[in-house]
A and B are shown apart, each in its own frame.
Chain A
Amino acid sequence: MNKINPLFDAVSEIDDKTVADFIPKYKTKPRKALKIAVITVAAALLLGTTAAATTLGDNPIVKINNNQVVPLHSSYVDENGWTVETTAVRLPFDTTCYTPVGEVRAVFDSELHEDGIYDELGVRLDDVSNGINFYINAEKNGEIPMTLMHGCYYDNYHQHETITPEGEIIIEFWQDPIQALESANRESMTVDEKLEEWRRYGNDFLEYGGFEHPSMRELYESGSGVSVGSADVHKFESTPSEAMKLYGYAPVSMDGCSEKAGMTAVMYKGTDNDTGEYTIFQQMFVYTLVDEQSGAEIVFTVWRSAENKDTYTDHFDFEYEYIQLNTGTQARLHQSADNSYILEFEKDGAAYGLQLGRERNLAESILEKMELL
């Protein structure tokens, strides 16, 4: 029997207040409705139709390329009698969107999703008394202030984003009735107040996020610090192998699988903590492998962060992380709250992640082929 660290038992006795204060966010609605919503929206887009001018409350939600398309809004009563609202939106990259707060461009920010995937658009919902406003946290010049990245919390909505190899983002969000109830009495905030809140989060980020360049620190301590970050998105129509060569990497391959053309690469940028330079500190690649036997398409999300930004270029080598896993590198198969399976491991002080999809047998098949099981 494995010996359990006695601290685990001790941690079980953490006082009630601490336990109750820091409950992790969890989902309370079934996923089924979300999938239906996404499929419906996707179908509407594929057919070239303009989706119903759906609004939440009286506000127009999002226009993409002058066509009002989404979000698709649905509502149902769950088994407990709660009215659950679900919405989904599918956005191409670099798209001009017209929102209640003006014209913005849809780009990534690098907020970490609970799945462990850096794939989140700066999109948020704001619960206001007369309905729900939906808008995108991006500046018109296409760069997102870092301060906006870490304050995008939703009083009563959960959100999930998926990036596709074709370079689209599927955003799903839904109301959590319990949290909605709990937050019903919260004071409404204006956009300006929300921005101020984000600035505060941004300052916290300066303290904890590794952007500790003296000038940033000075700004932080002066109370006006803003560290700017952004993400560049590159879409490729070539195969992942060909596309990744441009970044100097070897492609990820898997026995019995072929590559499907098309890849999206995301370069996350921020201020280097040592040099103060604005540089890439994180990369993500999304592409598809096809199981030749079954024809099943496996979407891989591979991301890469560097602990030491000065030497990150030495770290960006995807070629052999699987071999490293095989030779004892600590790896973890993580099932996220939305049932995505994610393999996480570290190498040379940098964190890697592989999203293996939501089907358990598919994830296991992948790991078997990688000889990890």
Chain B
Amino acid sequence: MEDEKITELLTNRDQSGLAALKAKYERLILKVCRGFLRSPEDAEECANDTLLAVWERIPPDRPDNLTAYICKIARRKTIDKLRYNTAAMRSTELMTELDECLPSGYSTEDEAEKAELSAALNEWLRSLDERHRKLFTLRYFYMQSAKDAAKACSMTPTAATTALARLRGSLKKYLVERGLFYE
């Protein structure tokens, strides 16, 4: 079913829209959730939370890009779960990698600061060529393993690991230059 039709059904509170949403996107949502969560049960729970959240938010939301909208919600739900569940994090590797750019202890409690950080990240991403943008997005948005991301980008895992390290260095430099992070 086309995304527009699904959105229309959801907007009209038609439960067949939820069924269509689940049929089309459940596996993608699970893919996003499993990128971070070790426990299949946790991933399932996050996927269900994501579907429910989409159902609750449309309407009033009317996303232009339903796929991106769903993936973002799935990712937020996954991070929420991580915050809640401190015991079984698969995320250590990813956390450690992003800590190279901005330490976890670095506070961005202020909403404006968070928004500025997001804007800076998007600006930095736009400065990258497509392959590196894809590599970064697969690794840090979709939380794919470096090897999976490498394959998707037609790279060897070694090359991807090297490229990711360079990207983190570049991002850190960018954040420092923008005054968002002081070493």
Contacts and interface: CB of A to CB of B under 8 A. Distances in A.
Given A3-B104, A5-B98, A8-B79, A151 B154 contact: yes
A14 B98 contact: no
B18 interface: no
A330 B92 CA distance: 8
A6 interface: yes
Contacts of B158: 209-210, 305, 307, 351
Interface stretch (A16-24, A52-60, A123-131, A256-264): A16-24
Contacts, number: 187
A317 interface: no
Interface stretch (B5-13, B52-60, B62-70): B62-70
Interface string B150-179: 111111111111110000000000000000
Interface stretch (A34-42, A68-76, A107-115, A294-302): A107-115
Contacts of A19: 65, 67-68, 71-72, 137, 141
Contacts of A13: 72, 118, 121-122
A150 interface: yes
Nearest to B28: A26
A307 B34 CA distance: 28
Interface in A321-352: 330, 332-335, 337, 344, 351
A16 B65 contact: yes
Interface residues of A, number: 56
A178 interface: yes
A5 B104 contact: yes
A2 B141 CA distance: 19
Interface of A: 1-28, 79-80, 111-114, 116, 150-151, 178, 201, 204-205, 208-210, 305, 307, 330, 332-335, 337, 344, 351, 353, 360
22 contacts: A7-B98, A7-B121, A12-B76, A13-B121, A14-B122, A15-B122, A19-B65, A19-B71, A22-B133, A22-B141, A24-B152, A112-B150, A112-B151, A150-B154, A178-B24, A204-B131, A205-B156, A208-B131, A208-B155, A210-B159, A332-B90, A351-B161
